Amino acid sequence: MKNRIIDLLISVSLQLYTIHVILSGGSDKTPAIITRRYSDFQRLHATLRRNHGDQMERVCFPRKKLRRNFTAETIAKRSRAFEQYLSHLCSLSALRGALCVRQFFYLTDLQAAQMLIRVGRYQEALGPLLNAKRLQHKLGWESYYDNQSQSAPAPASSHWFFTLVGLASCFQEVEQLEEARDHVDSALRVLTPPETEDRPLPLQNKPHPLTEKPDRPHPLLLPLLQTVVRLSWLTGRDKRHWEELLKEEEQREGLDNQPTVREYLVKHILQEGEGEG
Report pLDDT for 66.
60
Res. 206 pLDDT band, cuts 50 70 90: very low
For the cut 50, the answer to whether the pLDDT of residue 11 exceeds it is yes
Is 40 in contact with 277 (CB distance < 8 Å)?
no
Burial of 215 (0-12, 13-18, 19+ CB in 10 A): exposed
Q: Are 266 and 118 in contact (CB under 8 A)?
A: yes
pLDDT score of 124: 98
The answer to whether residue 49 scores a pLDDT higher than 50 is: yes
| pLDDT of 202 over the 50 cut | no
Of 198, 202, 199, nearest to 161 by C-alpha is: 202
Beta-bridge partners for 6: 23
Give me the mean pLDDT over the 172-194 stretch. 93
List, in order of start, the domains of the chain with CATH numbers: 1-96 (3.30.1520.10), 99-277 (1.25.40.10)
With a cut of 50, say whether residue 3 has pLDDT above it. no
pLDDT reading at 99 higher than 60:
yes
Residue in 32, 277, 270, 33 with CA at minimum distance from that of residue 162? 270
Contact 113, 132 (CB under 8 A): yes
Residue 45's pLDDT is 95
Q: Name the residue among 130, 128, 48, 28 with its Cα closest to residue 96.
A: 48
What confidence tier does 14 reach under pLDDT thresholds 50, 70, 90?
low
For the question of whether the overall pTM of this predicted structure is more than 0.85, the answer is no
Give CA–CA dist 133/164, Å, rounded: 8
Least-confidence region, from 56-65, 67-76, 245-254:
67-76
Q: Residue 147: which residues within 8 A CB-CB, separation 6 or more?
A: 99, 204, 205, 206, 272, 273
pLDDT value at position 211?
39
Helix H or strand E segment including 159: helix 158-173
* 79 pLDDT tier (thresholds 50, 70, 90): confident
